[in-house]
Structure 1
Amino acid sequence: MKIKHWFFGAILSLSIASQAQNAKKEVLFTIEDKPYYTDEFARVYKKNLDLVKDESQKDLNQYLELFIGYKLKINKAYKLGLEKGGQYQTELKQYRSQLAKNYMTDSKVTQELVQEAYQRSLKEVKASHILILVDENATPADTLKAYHQIADIRKKALAGEEFGALAEKYSQDPSAKENKGDLGYFTSFRMVYAFESAAYKTPVGKISNPIRTRFGYHLIKVTDERPNRGEVEVAHIMITPNSKDGDQGKTEAKNTINDIYTKLKQGESFETLAKQFSDDKSSAPKGGMLNKFGSGQLSSESFENVAFGLKNPGDYSEPFETQFGWHIVKLIKRYPLKTLDEAKAEIENRVGKDERSRLIAESINEKLRKKYKIKRDDKTFAAIKKAVTDKYYEGTWEPSTDAKATAKLFTIEDKAVNGSDFMDYLKAQQKAGLAVKPIARLVDTAYDQFLDQQLNAYYNDNLEKEFPEFGYVIDEYRDGLLLFDLMEKEIWEKSKTDTIGLQKFYDARKNNYMWKHRLDATVVSSTKMDVIKQAQKFLKQGKTPDFIKEKLNTKGVVNVMANSGVFEEGSDALPKGLKSQNGVSDIIKEGEYYFVVLVNKREPAAPKTLEEAKGKVINDYQQYLEENWVKDLRGEFSVKVNQDVFEKVKQQLHP
């Protein structure tokens, strides 16, 4: 799916706000007598104009060729019947549902909730709570009983009884027995919305009024608040134990990180040590630099806490262990919290998944009830109410088949919804555990929910009529899905499975895939000239790196580090100016370090094997196949361009 996300990037990034066209709709060209019109061509060209990087694609003659090529591929997909595939139909349905969410919402309410969430995210609140459980669908009597319990506890707290002791004694949150109701620090989106709102509205040291959530009634005591920590930028050195070596590998990793830490304390460069020894291959060439992050963005909480615990840029931690290995972290820079504009998209996404979404749904439901003409048949509704009995609570109720109850229940504009549909909905809710009491109230509640569901479905089904731009994007995505499946079938899979063709392609171009000169070498480094001279002497005597470290790292001081492997010329692990001849090198000074290198073997520049270069070769082979495939499609399908119409389009687009 990641490939598909990339493949549809251009389609999904297009704006759907400006679709108005001035061009008159005429047939621009045909493929096998199927017409393609000027309005679509002009619309797509205008939308993509600012996205294309190749200036030649802005030329209308060139763009027409690209557009025809695109439509040829779609015709090929239909010819192969790819639109009948189950996966294709499922993905199209899923995408339409995803895109429809942008229209099935109340933007004003959403933005108010986004603003509120952002303001709350600027600080973290520390609070304790007491919970009295009561189900969302409890009877009024049970709800009132729970309310009286929580109100009595609040009186005790206001009278001076210690809140933690009350939580330990009365709270029905199982964790209260251990933590006395303490929830620690939290910010927006960490708690259910009603609880969060109460916590942020309660002053430090005060106790809230009873708060109702889906869990029951709460009392909240806010004990502290602090600014959010923002983001940090750090560098790190990571040493990963070799899993094959078991405990010995763990011990070696710990010893290595401790040696590096000792060298740091001796004043050696963090960045240089990271380049030489860090096992994080993505950050090591950059001196261990990581992208900036905030709380909760990494997969290791302990790593985050160490990073945020560093006070000043340049400070570094002691070695510590995470699930990934051993680390030393250096603070580079602190960043304040994102602005609202920077954080807006992320917050909108979280609002849509949070309980806040209920407020948005309630708003859109209210608008739809006003937008569409709804007419209910009260006789049918009365018959349904009579047919629903207390067996519903036992899970044994069955929908009535009586004609009075199954008849038309209501209409939305021209769409009729029958009583049987509503009773099927009731049946489904029975299985889901709907337990509102008494039964008449349950039916009323379910009817309101069912009506809102049907209103949203009607609105959703008519989005293409309500919003032409929505229809344009769906059409483009439909074509994009087909094109992806076609490319996978005709190009991508072939490039991976056609071993003979791939080998021939590689053989004709093998000089495009070259290794640089490589050295099989051991690199020894130190900040002390006398030490590196001794290391050079040992290397000339044929001593191993372990022997050298044992002899020269004494009394808890790490004087030398050694790194063995096969390195390409220009590697950060090799000192600059190294002569690539076999044997022990002269001593090379680079910055504050002295290096000596034992070159065991020199590998000349040479073509990579097909296996070594396979990813790049396959990518190039795919491009080669596609270029030739489009030429074949022009021979397979009949294409006729209306040049007179095209000239008018060019005048309209580039007057």
Structure 2
Amino acid sequence: MNIKYFYSALLILAFSCSPKTTIKQEDNQDKGPVSLLTIGNEDIYADEFLHILSKNRTFQNKEDLISKEEFEKNFDLFVNFKLKVKEAENEGLAEVDEFQKEFAMFKEDLIRPFLIKNSLQEGELMKAYNRMQEVVKASHILLQFPNNAGREDSVAVFRMAEKLKADAENGADFNDLAEKHSDDPSAKDNKGNLGYFTALQMVYPFEDAAFRLKPGQISEPVITEFGYHIIKLEDKKPNPGEIRVSHILVRTPSNDPVTEERVLRKVGDIYTELQKPESVWEEVCNLYSEDLGTKNSGGTLPWIAIGSVIPEFERVAFNLSEIGEISAPVKTAYGYHIIRLEDKKPIAPYEEMEEMIKSKILRDSRSTLIQSQVSAIQKSRFSFVENEQLVDSLSNIFKNKQKQQAFQLVDSMPWIENMLISVRGEEKSVKNLIDFMNADNQIVRLGKKDYFSAWYEKFVEVNLNEAEEKDLEANSKEYQLILKEYRDGILLFSLMNQKVWQKALEDSLGQVAYFEENKDKYQWNDRYQALIVKMGKESRKDAVKKFLMDKNYQDNLETRLENTFLNDDPLAFTIQNNLFEIESHPVLSRIMTNKTFQEVNIEGRTHFVVLGKKVPAGPKKFEETRGKVIQDYQEYLDKSMIASLKENYIIRVNEEEKSRIYEIVTKN
């Protein structure tokens, strides 16, 4: 079942037409929540009715208030809706596998906005987008750890990083220090200068440190997967957005001064040629560019942003300000480029970039950081307790034994039934963890973690998530209402599909019987044979008119008309040729029925009509109106079902509570 089916069900609810309920007064009691109505033995509360009634309304403004008639209509529809849901439950539709799977899928989507993880993730998304409003220019010194580094090695690298930071702050040139000490291979050429970049272009700890600095400041040693970094912020400025450029490339062979000089003269001549008023960029590019992938398309490159191309190219490209402006030749590792600015655009709105940002965040270390924060909040909120001694024992067993041997050893331990963790007072034993690991129905990525740690963390995460879900179901009114709305909507669809929609489609005998009992509803008005020509090209109007004006309606007139005109000019006009009801037709309703040939102009389009015989009003055949019969039969089945349900279920309405809601939502 798809979400559109749910909305189809709500449309049926909104447009169903049902007889007024006979209501019984219910005494208002002060004990606990007061129900709005009761169907059978089930109490239904006003907040559910208000939730459905408040779609696209707040009732805070006068324009949102509804009339008494609208209120009564919506209340009757709500009663009908809940009757159908009650019937679906009593028929066991909520227990069917298909429903369970469908509801579980919806539930997974519906709960996301309410989760702690979602709010933290939204915060990270917005933080990344806000950072993307700026670009920063930074230099760095990287100190890597030696292979198989121990704790002493790590401390030594950290001490060296601190010394270099101190040297830089005491006046030593930062870029000279980078050239001399950095383990980044590119530092020999760029002296640690990374150029400009923005959020999501560096590993997160590096990005976070760089964006927290002010120009001229040097960071404390920052650890990443590459080692320790000392970062100096050179500049910070607004993000210029993206640009689209084209280029002409002349490649240069390495370590060949003679060829280099010849290439330099060549690119200079190309640049001079481009300054001539009569020169055409695309022609020059096609003749001289050595970028085989773009030379035939004017040298056009994809949209580029700060940090997405090599710094030498980027610097020149982003300095171009006017569309069509051409740069002087610039050298990169690929050769010499002449760059032309084709277009530019600011950074896109958050709504357009949200999915891209989310995709990148979920793939970098921020996702681990978010999960750590989620776990910490959940542990605090849901009274998490851990048996640290047992966790350590299990960790040692799995570190020192083969996996299968470890499982066998744990199975034989007397403490296998002992509490390992507790969430909201619900204890989980060592055996629960072992069963969880053996079930192997979770995706667990080890990364740098050992086997046991990865599985144990996943076990804790799953149990904490389940606790959060139970807490939402018990305490979040908004989530409860949305969950119930979708659950009831799926049940409603299942019942309607079974008893109304699909039944009406498949019950051919029922269709015919309904048609025979309601023949008076299916009548033709006066009809006429008619050929209607709608002109597509007004230039052919006179020729078509001359052809038709002396013709009578005949079966072969359409073919003759097509052969005369459309073989040579298929778009000259379109044709309708059939038996039509005059009164309801947009063209024929404007003609006189005593003339064979007529011309009608509708919204600037010429229509020619050749009128044939009149067919008097009379009954339709079943085959001629089967689609409308099925539609009416579905409506009949729906009304019959509602009437039957109202006889089978006792409906009690609390008039006091209904009046309270009425005062909130109606125009007084």
TM-score (norm: length of structure 2): 0.52
Count of aligned positions: 461
**What amino acid is aligned across from residue 642 of structure 2 in structure 1?**
V
Matched, 1:617 2:618: no
- Contact (CA 8 Å) 1:118, 1:347: kept in 2 or not? no
Q: Residue in 2 aligned with 1:46?
A: 50
Shift of 1:414: 1.0
Provide the secondary structure at the position in 2 that maps to 1:102. Answer: helix
Choose from 467, 486, 491 the match for 2:500.
491
Q: Residue in 1 aligned with 2:102?
A: 91
Q: Deviations over 1:267-319 (max 9, x none)?
A: xxxxxxxxxxxxxxxxxxxxxxxxxxxx9xxxxxxxxxxxxxxxxxxxxxxxx
For 1:240-389, what aligned pairs fall within 5 Å after superposition?
Answer: 360-389=370-399
Shift of 1:104: 1.6
Q: Residue in 2 aligned with 1:451?
A: 460
Distance 2:619 2:360 in 1: 53
User: Structure 2 stretches of 5 or more lacking a match?
Assistant: 15-28, 58-64, 136-146, 155-181, 212-221, 227-238, 245-302, 304-344, 552-556
Matched, 1:503 2:507: no
Q: Residue in 2 aligned with 1:413?
A: 424
Provide the secondary structure at the position in 2 that maps to 1:373. Answer: coil
Task: Sort the Cα spacing of 1:561 and 1:210 in 2 relative to 1 into closer, same or farther, 3 A.
Answer: farther
Q: Deviations over 1:397-416 (max 9, x none)?
A: 74631325633222223111
Provide the secondary structure at the position in 2 that maps to 1:410. Answer: strand
**What amino acid is aligned across from residue 423 of structure 1 in structure 2?**
I
**What amino acid is aligned across from residue 382 of structure 2 in structure 1?**
Y
For 1:50-61, what aligned pairs fall within 5 Å after superposition?
Answer: 50-51=54-55, 55=67, 59=71
Q: Residue in 2 aligned with 1:634?
A: 646
**What amino acid is aligned across from residue 511 of structure 2 in structure 1?**
L
Q: Residue in 2 aligned with 1:545?
A: 562
Q: Residue in 2 aligned with 1:285?
A: none
Provide the secondary structure at the position in 2 that maps to 1:403. Answer: coil
Q: Residue in 1 aligned with 2:307?
A: none
- Contact (CA 8 Å) 1:408, 1:418: kept in 2 or not? yes
- Contact (CA 8 Å) 1:520, 1:601: kept in 2 or not? no
**What amino acid is aligned across from residue 33 of structure 2 in structure 1?**
K
Distance 2:430 2:187 in 1: 50
For 1:408-447, what aligned pairs fall within 5 Å after superposition?
Answer: 408-427=419-438, 434-436=445-447, 439=450, 442-447=451-456
Q: Deviations over 1:432-463 (max 9, x none)?
A: 67444574xx4334433432222112221232
Q: Residue in 2 aligned with 1:154?
A: 186
Task: Sort the Cα spacing of 1:479 and 1:443 in 2 relative to 1 into closer, same or farther, 3 A.
Answer: same
Task: Sort the Cα spacing of 1:50 and 1:603 in 2 relative to 1 into closer, same or farther, 3 A.
Answer: farther
For 1:193-208, what aligned pairs fall within 5 Å after superposition?
Answer: none
Q: Which of structures 1 and 2 has the bigger CA Rg?
A: 2
- Which fold has the larger relative contact order, with Cα–Cα distance below 8 Å and residues 6 or more apart in sequence? 2
**What amino acid is aligned across from residue 5 of structure 2 in structure 1?**
K
Provide the secondary structure at the position in 2 that maps to 1:411. Answer: strand
Q: Deviations over 1:549-604 (max 9, x none)?
A: 567x7xxxx9x724344376799997997777897x56777788766666788888
- Contact (CA 8 Å) 1:23, 1:42: kept in 2 or not? no
For 1:219-258, what aligned pairs fall within 5 Å after superposition?
Answer: 227=242
**What amino acid is aligned across from residue 7 of structure 2 in structure 1?**
W
Matched, 1:104 2:121: no
Q: Deviations over 1:95-143 (max 9, x none)?
A: 33332222223465344344356669999x9xxxxxxxxxxxx9989xx
Identity among equivalent pairs (%): 18
Shift of 1:86: 1.7
Shift of 1:513: 7.5
**What amino acid is aligned across from residue 504 of structure 2 in structure 1?**
S
